[in-house]
Every structure is written in C-alpha cells, then in structure tokens.
C-alpha cells in the first residue's frame, strides 16, 4: 500500500485529500508545514508527497529544494492555489513532478496525477535496479577476465624465468644472474625513455639471453682453461641456437601436441612481440659497438637497441659474479671496466644511462646477490 504525505497548512485540504485517497487504498500521512513535512519524509519515507507552496516556517519551494537534493527519486506534486505562472515555473525548476491548482474541482485529476507519478517512480526504480544488476554482472565478468589475464601473464613470466634459469644452471651459476640482468634491463630501458610496457617486455626477454647455452656441451661450456679456436666457435653458436629456440614453432612442431592436448594451432605458432625481442637479444647480445663482436659483427646502431642494453648489463653482472672458473671482480673494478668499454664494446649512450641509474642498479645487485 503506497504511502502519501500531504504537506499543507490548511487542515481542510489535508482532510479532503485523506478522505478521497484512502478510498483508493493509499496510506495517508499529514504535515501542517514544510519543516514538519521534511522531518516526516526523513522518518517515514513516504512513496509520494503532495505539497502546498505558501506555508509558514518552511514553504513549499524549500521543501522541493530539499527533496530534490536528498531524495531525487521521491515523486513530489505541488498542489497550490496561488495560480501564478511564476510559481509553477519555479516549482518545476526545483524538481516538482507535476502541478495541480487548488481548489481541485475534480478529484479524479488528483488521483490521476498520483498514479502517474507513482508509476513513473516505479519505472525509474526498476530501471536503476536493472542497470545496477547489469553493472554488477559486467564488473564480475571483468574481474574474472582480469584474474585469468593476470594468471596468464604470471604463468608466461614463470615459464620464461624458469627457462632462463635452466640455461644458467648449465653454466653452474645460481639462477640469480638472469633475475639481475632482467632488473637492470628494465631500469636502463626506463631511464632511456622506453614505455613501461616496452621496458617490461625487454626485461622479460633479457632473461633468455643465454638460452642457447642449453645446446652447448658441458665439455665446452664448463671447460676451466682456454677454449681452442674450434671450441670457441662452438661456444659462439649459443647465439644462433637461442635464436632458433625462440623462433616461431612450425606446424610440424606442434601438430602432434595439439592433437593430444587442447590448444589453438594458430595461437601456438604465432610470433609474439615478446618472442621477437627475446630472439633479438639472444642472437645479438655478443655484438660489440666497434663491430668486433659475434655472430654478425654488427656495428654501432646496427645492433638492435634491446641487445645493446643487455650486452652492457650482462657484462657488468658477469664480471661481478663468481663462477667456477673465475673470481668476482670488486664493484670498483666492474665500474671501471664498464666505463672503459664505452664506445668500444658498449654503446656510449647506454653507458651514460648506466651511470645515471647506478644507485638503482646497485640496489638490485645487493638485493639479488648470489
Ligand atoms: Fe651469451
Ligand atoms: Fe649472461
């Protein structure tokens, strides 16, 4: 049973409304001025308000203003005898849903206005519930999607880091070299003005710089003394092997797999940005700025930028790490070597950025020490 509040200073009017509307199953409330009316709205939460304009204490316009601000969905109908067009306009401006003139000649007009306003309020409410329900559904779906995206990103990162670690274990190192190289790469890429996404992809790709070492035999990889020219040539092949390992898979590579395990063939053989960067880094991280590196002997800007960054941080980290065949250099010596390699082995601009972000680099070195 909808509740209707009449706010009017004339008791006769309030009574007439009550007598008439009670017959149509409305529950009636009354207030003799705006102040009491607002209190009742707050306490009783009526479904509709009928308000007079001219009243002592708080008048109808103030009630309208308050309802409009605090109960925007509460239907409020002005019933006033002033008959001045200015009042009607002002009342509508302040949020009146409709306007009736007193005295009311035909009470059906009142009932009709009440029914219309209640129906409109019901539709507004229904619409909002529907919208909120929809928004909630979208929110939940988005959340689920974000969660599975995050899961995918995490899994991808794990697979890459584990593969990077695997290549490092072949070298009898601890697995932290790839983590440090990744972090340094990100710091340098940020410092050089690459976007966050680009820096992330380079950092992740750098973890695979030596993945080709998986294909080099122990006899060469772990040989304590100097390598013979043939052995050295084989050792250098880790760049090529890395590139091959990170090239897009062929249909033959995955055919057997997808026939047994659920998977999308096109997705599996496609070449991603991450795969491309990893491949470039794996292939070119031993090139030197002066062209004396391998496998291509590229020079200066010919060497892809991501590879130039990794060369710098890989050398810095390798010389500062203990390996079965060598002791670690002191930090001072490492920095001297990096500085001296500028313009010969390393891109001088990258070396500048390296020293610009040295504080961050040394923090990573301390945090991820072997
Ligand atoms: Fe390497
Ligand atoms: Fe390395």
User: From the centroid of its chain, how far is CA 339?
Assistant: 39
Distance 216 CA to ligand 1 centre (A): 11
Among all bound ligands, the one having the nearest atom to the CA of 211 is 1
Three-class secondary structure of residue 77 per DSSP:
strand
* Rounded mean pLDDT, 49-78: 93
> Which CATH architecture does the domain made up of 171-367 adopt?
Orthogonal Bundle (1.10)
Distance 209 CA to ligand 2 centre (A): 7
Among all bound ligands, the one having the nearest atom to the CA of 310 is 2
Give 288-311 as a DSSP string. -TTS--SSS---GGGS-HHHHHHH
pLDDT single digits (tens) 212-257: 999 999 889 888 888 999 999 999 999 999 999 999 888 877 777 7
Q: Is 43 a catalytic residue?
A: no
pLDDT single digits (tens) 160-175: 888 888 888 887 666 7
Whole-model pTM: value is 0.68
Residues with Cβ within 8 Å of residue 282, at least 6 apart in sequence: 208, 209, 210, 211, 212, 239, 242, 243, 245, 246
Average pLDDT over all residues of the chain:
92
* Rounded mean pLDDT, 51-73: 92
Q: Between the CA of residue 281 and those of 142, 160, 182, 212, 317, what are the distances in Å?
A: 35, 14, 12, 11, 16
* pLDDT (0 to 100) of residue 249: 82
Least Cα distance to 74 among 43, 97, 98 occurs for 97
Tell me the residues surrounding ligand 1 (ion) with CB < 5 Å. 210
The pLDDT-based confidence of 127 (bands split at 50, 70, 90) is very high
Query: Residues 165, 186, 213, 365: which is the catalytic one?
Result: 213
* pLDDT (0 to 100) of residue 172: 67
Distance 340 CA to ligand 1 centre (A): 20
* pLDDT (0 to 100) of residue 240: 97
Strand-pair category, 76-80 with 48-51: parallel
Provide φ and ψ at 80, rounded to 5°: -140, 150
Distance 239 CA to ligand 1 centre (A): 7
How far is the C-alpha of 360 from the C-alpha of 331, rounded, in Å? Answer: 14
How far is the C-alpha of 20 from the C-alpha of 12, rounded, in Å? Answer: 12
Question: Which of 17-21, 76-80, 174-178 bottoms out in mean pLDDT, i.e. has the lowest?
Answer: 174-178
Distance 311 CA to ligand 1 centre (A): 9
* pLDDT (0 to 100) of residue 305: 97
pLDDT at 267 over 90: no
User: From the centroid of its chain, how far is CA 318?
Assistant: 36
pLDDT at 260 over 70: no
Distance 314 CA to ligand 1 centre (A): 8
> Where exactly are the structural domains of the chain?
3-127, 171-367
How far is the C-alpha of 63 from the C-alpha of 40, rounded, in Å? Answer: 12
Distance 193 CA to ligand 2 centre (A): 24
Percent of the chain with pLDDT over 90: 74
How far is the C-alpha of 196 from the C-alpha of 189, rounded, in Å? Answer: 9
> Which CATH architecture does the domain made up of 3-127 adopt?
3-Layer(aba) Sandwich (3.40)
Among all bound ligands, the one having the nearest atom to the CA of 239 is 1
Among all bound ligands, the one having the nearest atom to the CA of 179 is 2
């Amino acid at each position: 049973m909808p509740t209707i509040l009449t706010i009017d200073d004339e008791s006769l009017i309030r009574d007439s409304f009550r007598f008439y509307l009670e017959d149509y199953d409305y529950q009636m409330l009354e207030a003799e001025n705006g102040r009491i009316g607002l209190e009742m709205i707050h306490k009783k939460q009526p479904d509709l308000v009928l308000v007079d304009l001219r009243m002592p204490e708080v008048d109808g316009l103030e009630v309208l203003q308050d309802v409009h601000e605090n109960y925007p969905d509460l239907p409020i109908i002005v019933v006033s005898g002033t008959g001045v067009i200015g009042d009607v306009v002002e009342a509508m401006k302040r949020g009146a849903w409709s306007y009736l003139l007193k005295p009311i000649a035909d009470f059906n007009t009142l009932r009709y206005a009440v029914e219309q306003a209640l129906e409109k309020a019901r539709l507004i409410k229904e619409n909002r519930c529907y919208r909120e329900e929809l928004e909630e559904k979208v929110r939940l779906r988005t959340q689920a999607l974000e969660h599975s995206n995050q899961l995918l990103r995490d899994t991808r990162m794990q697979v890459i880091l584990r593969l990077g670690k695997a290549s490092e274990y072949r070298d009898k190192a601890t697995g932290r070299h790839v983590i440090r190289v990744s972090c340094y790469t990100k710091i340098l890429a940020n410092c050089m003005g690459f976007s966050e996404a680009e820096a992330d992809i380079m950092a992740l790709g750098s973890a695979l710089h030596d993945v080709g070492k998986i294909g080099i035999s122990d006899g060469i990889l772990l040989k304590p003394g100097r390598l013979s020219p043939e052995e050295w040539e084989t050792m250098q092949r880790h760049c090529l092997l890395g590139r091959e390992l990170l090239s897009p898979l062929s249909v033959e590579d995955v055919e057997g797999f997808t026939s047994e395990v659920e998977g999308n063939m096109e997705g599996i053989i496609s070449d991603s940005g991450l795969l491309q960067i990893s491949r470039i880094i794996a292939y070119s991280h031993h090139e030197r700025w002066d062209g004396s590196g391998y496998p291509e002997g590229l020079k200066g800007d010919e060497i892809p930028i991501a590879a130039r960054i990794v060369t710098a941080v890989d050398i810095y980290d390798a010389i500062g790490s203990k390996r079965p065949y060598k002791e670690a250099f002191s930090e001072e010596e490492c920095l001297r070597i990096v500085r001296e390699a500028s313009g010969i082995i390393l891109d001088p601009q990258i070396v500048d950025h390296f020293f610009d972000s040295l504080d961050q680099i040394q923090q990573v070195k301390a945090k991820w020490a072997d």
